[in-house]
Amino acid sequence: MSAASAATPPAPITTMANAIRALSMDAVEAAKSGHPGMPMGMADVATVLFTRFLKFNPKQPAWADRDRFILSAGHGSMLIYSLGYLTGYERMTIDELKRFRQLGSLTPGHPEVDPSLGIEMTTGPLGQGVSTAVGFALAERITNARFGDDLINHFTYVIASDGDLMEGVSHEACSLAGHLGLNRLIVLWDDNHISIDGSTDLSFTDDTPARFRSYGWNTATVDGHDPEAVAKAIEAAQTSDKPTLIACRTIIGKGAPNKANTHGCHGSPLGADEVAATRENLGWPHEAFVVPQDVLDAWRAAGTRADAAYADWTQRVAAMDPSARKAFEAAMDRGVPAGLDELIAAFKKKVSEDKPSWATRVASGNVLDILVPAVPEMIGGSADLTPSNNTKAKNTADVKGRGEFNGRYVRYGVREHGMATVMNGMALHGGVIPYGGTFMQFADYCRPSIRLAALMKQRSIFVMTHDSIGLGEDGPTHQPVEHLAALRAIPNLLTLRPADAVETAECWQIALERVNGPSVLALTRQNVPTLRTEHAAENRSARGGYVILEAEGERKVTLLATGSEVSLAAEARKALQAEGIGAAVVSIPSFELFEAQDDAYKASVLGSGVRVAVEAAIRQGWDRWLGYPGATAVAFVGMSGFGESAPYQELYKHFGITAEAVVAAAKARL
Which parts are annotated binding residues for substrate?
35, 266, 361, 388, 466, 474, 478, 525
Q: Which is nearer to a second copy, 120 or 172 (CB)?
A: 172
Helix pair angle (360-374, 501-513), 10° resolution: 50
* Shortest distance in whole angstroms from residue 147 CB to a second copy: 25
Nearest Cα neighbor of 380 from 527, 183, 512 is: 512
* Shortest distance in whole angstroms from residue 41 CB to a second copy: 17
The question of whether 416 is a catalytic residue gets the answer yes
Looking at 246-254, 313-321, 347-355, 377-385, which segment touches a second copy (CB under 8 A)? 377-385
Do β-strands 557-561 and 633-637 pair in parallel, antiparallel, or remain unpaired?
unpaired
352: contact with a second copy by CB under 8 A: no
Q: Contacts with a second copy in 438-467 (CB under 8 A)? A: 441-442, 444-445, 447-448, 451-452, 454-455
* Shortest distance in whole angstroms from residue 3 CB to a second copy: 30
Using CA atoms, how far apart are residues 334 and 369, in angstroms rounded to an integer?
21
H or E element: which one contains 499?
Answer: none
29: contact with a second copy by CB under 8 A: no
Binding annotation: 35, 75, 124-126, 162-163, 192, 194, 266, 361, 388, 442, 466, 474, 478, 525
Using CA atoms, how far apart are residues 67 and 10, in angstroms rounded to an integer?
29
Binding mask 121-160 for a second copy (x = CB under 8 A): -xxxxxx---------------------------------
Distance from CA of residue 242 to its chain's centroid? 25
616-643 per-residue burial string, b: 16 or more CB within 10 A, e: under 16? bbbeebbeebbebeebeebbbbbbeeeb
Binding mask 195-224 for a second copy (x = CB under 8 A): xxx--x-xxxxxxx-xx-xxxx--------
H or E element: which one contains 203?
Answer: none
DSSP state of 588: -
Contact 185, 145 (CB under 8 A): no
Q: Which is nearer to a second copy, 69 or 217 (CB)?
A: 217
Using CA atoms, how far apart are residues 147 and 153, in angstroms rounded to an integer?
10
Binding mask 97-116 for a second copy (x = CB under 8 A): ----xxxxx--xxx-x----
Q: Which is nearer to a second copy, 60 or 492 (CB)?
A: 492
Binding mask 532-561 for a second copy (x = CB under 8 A): ------------------------------
* Shortest distance in whole angstroms from residue 639 CB to a second copy: 8
Nearest Cα neighbor of 526 from 616, 404, 614 is: 616
516: contact with a second copy by CB under 8 A: no
* Shortest distance in whole angstroms from residue 502 CB to a second copy: 28
How big is the site for a second copy, counted in residues (CB under 8 A)? Answer: 109
* Shortest distance in whole angstroms from residue 533 CB to a second copy: 31
Q: Which is nearer to a second copy, 169 or 663 (CB)?
A: 169
Q: Which is nearer to a second copy, 335 or 642 (CB)?
A: 642
Residue 529 burial (CB count, 10 A): 16
472: contact with a second copy by CB under 8 A: yes
Q: Provide the residue type at 545 as one letter.
A: G
Q: Which is nearer to a second copy, 147 or 655 (CB)?
A: 655
Answer for which of 19, 31, 427, 523 binds a second copy (CB under 8 A) is 31
Answer for which of 29, 65, 167, 191 binds a second copy (CB under 8 A) is 167
Query: 204: exposed, middle or buried (C-beta count within 10 Å: 0-12, 13-18, 19+)?
Result: middle
Q: Which is nearer to a second copy, 198 or 529 (CB)?
A: 198
DSSP state of 114: B
Using CA atoms, how far apart are residues 600 and 17, in angstroms rounded to an integer?
60
* Shortest distance in whole angstroms from residue 390 CB to a second copy: 13
Distance from CA of residue 662 to its chain's centroid? 38
478: contact with a second copy by CB under 8 A: yes
Binding mask 388-427 for a second copy (x = CB under 8 A): x---------x------------xxxxxxxx---------
User: Which residues pair with residue 248 across a beta bridge?
Assistant: 190, 222
Find the catalytic residue in 167, 172, 377, 416: 416
Distance from CA of residue 562 to its chain's centroid? 26
CA geometry: angle at 610 spanning 606 and 613, to 5°? 65
Q: Using DSSP, how many helices (H) and how many strands (E) does the chain show?
A: 27, 20
Q: Contacts with a second copy in 606-665 (CB under 8 A)? A: 618-621, 623-624, 626-627, 640-642, 644-647, 650-651, 654
Name 419's Cβ contacts closer than 8 Å, sequence gap at least 6: 172, 381, 382, 383, 410, 412, 436, 438, 446
Catalytic residue numbers read: 416
